[in-house]
Structure 1
Amino acid sequence: LVNVSFVVLVFNINVVSGYNQLHIGGIFPINGKGGWQGGQACMPAAKLALQDVNEKEDLLPGFNLTLHSNDSECEPGLGASVMYNLLYNAPQKLMLLAGCSTVCTTVAEAAKMWNLVVLCYGASSPALSDRSRFPTLFRTHPSATVHNPTRIKLMQKFGWSRVAILQQAEEVFISTVEDLETRCKEAGIEIVTRQSFLSDPTDAVRNLRRQDARIIVGLFYVVAARRVLCEMYKQQLYGRAYVWFFIGWYEDNWYEVNLKNENISCTKEQMRMAAQGHLTTEALMWNQNNQKTISGMSSEDFRKRLNDALIEEGYDISHNRYPEGYQEAPLAYDAVWSVALAFNKTMQKLKEGNIGKTLKDFTYTDKVIANTIYSAMNSTQFLGVSGWVAFSSQGDRIALTQIEQMIDGQYYKLGYYDTQADNLTWFDMEKWDGGKVPQDRTIVRRVLRTVSLPLFICMSTVSSCGIVVALALIVFNIWHRHRRVIQTSHPVCNTIMLFGVIICLVSVILLGLDGQFVTAENYPKVIKIVFTVAEKIHLNHT
């Protein structure tokens, strides 16, 4: 038996004496070595949201929202242990927040047994859209499948109909690839190969080169992405002939950090060279309009507060070096607001229903309050720092997709794609090495190689002169056949020899004929004539 001790962090912001507490559990991936450790930035964002929610007097009147949380390290086993620790230790939790797809899968599948709604701020696995498997799950992070229509749209825009896929062997990426394969088949796009790996991508990347893959979709966590990028450099799978699609939720400097800690055998300069020109797709996680949101802040106001909070947490964010999960921080912030709004709506419904219960009466066996919380969350809509927050019937976040390209070490926005409206907004900012769009395969062009026309004319003229001379000699030989000198020189042999010379010279002209003089239909006839002439020459020679 292994004794595992947990330190539960409790954030109770602005607790006013006499206020009732509404408790929620939080599972944040922070200190793991693999997967997505987005809790590093999402935890401070959630703390900011708690502070703002509890300061808003007209929201949850008479109550304070309290978060109890721990680190899952993006490990599903540890995440399950954290969940059980939260549930089996007082106080009673009304809802769970979770991040990292593998952990959310475990937590959301089990939470239904406690009648708990789970809200994921950092989980993109398409498998989580299965309502029969995850009946109480919602997420402020859009599903990874929202990227696939965007990828298909880009492939069609640039005329790519032959692609390859490289994936890490994780459920989130496996289910994403299955959806991508289906969409590619519907769009008439050929998937030339699908390679997967656990931790070492060396063989998989090498196989891509063998298959002559040019347009490659890569699906993996950021730690694996650095290994893939280094192997790309070693295999020369970058530059003007290749286009890579990467996931857009990596941090902007992801290819330059932790190289020594992860034993990456490439330098920063080599990683920078390999990363040049790749495309990324990501759901919009920051409100693009500088307008006031439900919290009273704009997205820029939130960014400034978050940066200050990260500095207080001890993170060095100078030189644009942000902790993991910085891009998803607005999703965690809006997740807490979603919880508060859902609880507020639940309180109103319970009061209007006259069932004699409040949120404080919730237990893990109370399906009435659980269903009310679910219904309230399902209908929650508001403008947050991540954009308009609303949930589909599968509990998925509805969002636009942003397309970016790495150009000279920086990401530049190329456009946005609205999946529901099938509308691509394009800024014409793309930049390709060599100045033109890369091809999706090795182009084989059939070029007619012909004999040089001046050379053909020259040789035909010489041959014609030779034929004329040979004919003249034949006439001379026949005309003077009675002369003794001619008779002693074997005129018959001379005539036969001269005819052979004529045939040889005619073959020079015939062999010079090609596609510029003879059509493809008539060329076999010319070949037959040439063969016949050559056979006659051979017979004459023998």
Structure 2
Amino acid sequence: MRGNLYILLQVIVLASGKTTIHLGGLFVMSGEHLFWAGSVYPGALLALEDINNRDDILPDYYLEMVANDTKGDAGRAIHSLIEMALTPPTKIMLIGGAQGEESIALAETSKWWNMIQVIPATATPVLSNRQRFPLSFRTRMSLLMFTEVRLAILRHFEWQRVGIIYTNDQSILTTVRTLTQALLEANVTLVASEQFSSTVAPSYQMAKLKESGARIIIALAFTYIDVRLLFCEAYKLDMIGPKYVYIAQGHSDYLYWMEEDPRVTCSAEEVTTALQGLLMIGDMMYRPDGKATISGMVSEVVCPTCTREVTSHNTFARRAMPSAYPSIYSSRVAHGKPSSTLLLL
């Protein structure tokens, strides 16, 4: 029956007396998205190992994961999902994906098998729709939750006039609509709102922002090449220095603006100059207060292990690991506790 949630579970009893339950995992293991999502798979494996080695978490069960590489591509992800769903053993839960369109496609499809999906690395607001995606949960916060952060910054500095520039990605468009309404309700004047195509220099749009007189500019860019293109144009138009403030989202431990790219007609030093005074906001991936999480572990204990396990060349990739670890732990919550606990994810 479509209206009821049910799982046909194929189990294997090990010689140890433990029952094996299988998870399906769809991760970025290669390709262009590896630089930021490459730590999700190692993080999931680490959590799997920790749970299986502990006697206080699902003591009568052994977790095993069948994993495939999607390269962050929605088509490859759907192909792997269908293959997993039709091939024994039965997977009681899906862990994945990473890239936004990929995760949405998986959420749209996996629900027809009544398969619970836990998404470890996607922040797109689209997945917050519980009616559309009733069986999909995630361990990373939605981009929409940063709306109040931006408003708090505006209130703190008493800024009353802002401009917005953003890329035409689905996730960003949803964020812009929510932010625009929030600005209206907060009596903040939106003097200009400009959209540009991803990976194309926003020359015209930045010129329009300058013409509008916007000095406080909220930048919503989907990719890091978009960020470099945007601030390259800011440099060319002299929209930099103490008269301008940009509020953008991201992390500064990975110096992505220093990378040369033929599509960006500014040097790394020029882009860096344009970034001076940038206000950057981002999600906190580790709990900083030293308190134990639901797993009974603290960030200071898990973090050194993350660093050792992840072989990525930059610290930015390791940021995805803390959201991958609890995605596997949620299998314990789903199997060993009431479903209402899973909603807390």
Give me the whole-angstrom Cα distance separating, in 1, the residues matched to 2:15 and 2:304.
Answer: 27
Does the 8 Å CA contact 1:28/1:73 hold for their aligned counterparts? yes
One of 326, 336, 340 as aligned partner of 1:334:
326
One of 89, 94, 97 as aligned partner of 2:95:
97
CA 94–285 in structure 1, closer or farther in 2 if over 3 Å, else same: same
Give me the whole-angstrom Cα distance separating, in 2, the residues matched to 1:263 and 1:16.
Answer: 58
CA drift of 1:104 comes to 1.5
The equivalent residue for 1:78 is 76
Tell me the SS of whatever aligns to 2:43.
Answer: helix
Does the 8 Å CA contact 2:154/2:160 hold for their aligned counterparts? yes
Tell me the SS of whatever aligns to 1:327.
Answer: helix
Does residue 1:253 correspond to 2:259, yes or no?
no
The 5 A counterparts of 1:58-457 are 58-98=56-96, 99-198=98-197, 199-203=199-203, 204-220=205-221, 221-249=223-251, 251-257=253-259, 259-260=260-261, 263-310=263-310, 313=311, 315-316=312-313, 321-324=314-317, 326-345=318-337, 376=339, 378-380=340-342, 391=344
The 5 A counterparts of 1:3-14 are none
Give me the whole-angstrom Cα distance separating, in 1, the residues matched to 2:189 and 2:303.
Answer: 42
CA drift of 1:37 comes to 5.4
CA drift of 1:50 comes to 0.8
CA drift of 1:136 comes to 1.0
CA drift of 1:33 comes to 3.2
Does the 8 Å CA contact 1:121/1:335 hold for their aligned counterparts? yes
Alignment TM-score, normalising by the size of structure 2: 0.87
Does the 8 Å CA contact 1:222/1:250 hold for their aligned counterparts? no
CA 78–194 in structure 1, closer or farther in 2 if over 3 Å, else same: farther
CA 79–195 in structure 1, closer or farther in 2 if over 3 Å, else same: farther
CA 379–292 in structure 1, closer or farther in 2 if over 3 Å, else same: closer
Tell me the SS of whatever aligns to 1:328.
Answer: helix
Does the 8 Å CA contact 1:251/1:327 hold for their aligned counterparts? no
Structure 2: unaligned runs, 5 residues or longer: 1-13
CA drift of 1:229 comes to 2.6
Give me the whole-angstrom Cα distance separating, in 1, the residues matched to 2:329 and 2:70.
Answer: 22
Does the 8 Å CA contact 1:23/1:66 hold for their aligned counterparts? yes
* Rg comparison, structure with higher value: 1
Does the 8 Å CA contact 1:26/1:67 hold for their aligned counterparts? yes
Does residue 1:25 correspond to 2:27, yes or no?
no
Q: Which amino acid counterpart does residue 217 of structure 2 have in structure 1?
A: I
Q: Which amino acid counterpart does residue 212 of structure 1 have in structure 2?
A: G
CA 379–295 in structure 1, closer or farther in 2 if over 3 Å, else same: closer
CA 53–171 in structure 1, closer or farther in 2 if over 3 Å, else same: same
CA drift of 1:172 comes to 0.8
Q: Which amino acid counterpart does residue 273 of structure 1 have in structure 2?
A: T
Give me the whole-angstrom Cα distance separating, in 2, the residues matched to 1:96 and 1:342.
Answer: 12
Deviations 1:198-255 (A, max 9, x none): 2213333333223332111112222322222323222222221111111135753222
Alignment TM-score, normalising by the size of structure 1: 0.57
**Equivalences, count:** 328
Tell me the SS of whatever aligns to 1:26.
Answer: strand
Percent of pairs with identical residues: 27
Does the 8 Å CA contact 2:107/2:117 hold for their aligned counterparts? yes
Give me the whole-angstrom Cα distance separating, in 2, the residues matched to 1:271 and 1:30.
Answer: 31
Does the 8 Å CA contact 1:162/1:191 hold for their aligned counterparts? yes
Does the 8 Å CA contact 1:163/1:217 hold for their aligned counterparts? yes
Give me the whole-angstrom Cα distance separating, in 1, the residues matched to 2:154 and 2:45.
Answer: 41
Q: Which amino acid counterpart does residue 62 of structure 1 have in structure 2?
A: D
CA 177–282 in structure 1, closer or farther in 2 if over 3 Å, else same: same
Does the 8 Å CA contact 1:249/1:327 hold for their aligned counterparts? no
Q: Which amino acid counterpart does residue 156 of structure 1 have in structure 2?
A: R
Structure 1: unaligned runs, 5 residues or longer: 1-14, 346-374, 381-389, 392-396, 398-542
Give me the whole-angstrom Cα distance separating, in 2, the residues matched to 1:68 and 1:237.
Answer: 51
Give me the whole-angstrom Cα distance separating, in 1, the residues matched to 2:192 and 2:55.
Answer: 57
The equivalent residue for 1:446 is none
CA 90–210 in structure 1, closer or farther in 2 if over 3 Å, else same: farther
Tell me the SS of whatever aligns to 2:101.
Answer: helix
Give me the whole-angstrom Cα distance separating, in 2, the residues matched to 1:196 and 1:224.
Answer: 12
Deviations 1:121-147 (A, max 9, x none): 112122211112111111111111110
Does the 8 Å CA contact 1:37/1:74 hold for their aligned counterparts? no
Q: Which amino acid counterpart does residue 115 of structure 1 have in structure 2?
A: N
Q: More deviation in 88-97 or 227-236?
A: 227-236
Does the 8 Å CA contact 2:333/2:341 hold for their aligned counterparts? no
CA 19–282 in structure 1, closer or farther in 2 if over 3 Å, else same: same
Does the 8 Å CA contact 1:166/1:218 hold for their aligned counterparts? yes
Tell me the SS of whatever aligns to 2:137.
Answer: strand
The equivalent residue for 1:527 is none
CA drift of 1:281 comes to 2.1
Does the 8 Å CA contact 2:41/2:324 hold for their aligned counterparts? yes
CA drift of 1:171 comes to 1.1
Q: Which amino acid counterpart does residue 205 of structure 1 have in structure 2?
A: M
Tell me the SS of whatever aligns to 1:65.
Answer: strand
Tell me the SS of whatever aligns to 2:193.
Answer: strand
Does the 8 Å CA contact 1:245/1:278 hold for their aligned counterparts? yes
The equivalent residue for 2:7 is none
Tell me the SS of whatever aligns to 2:166.
Answer: strand
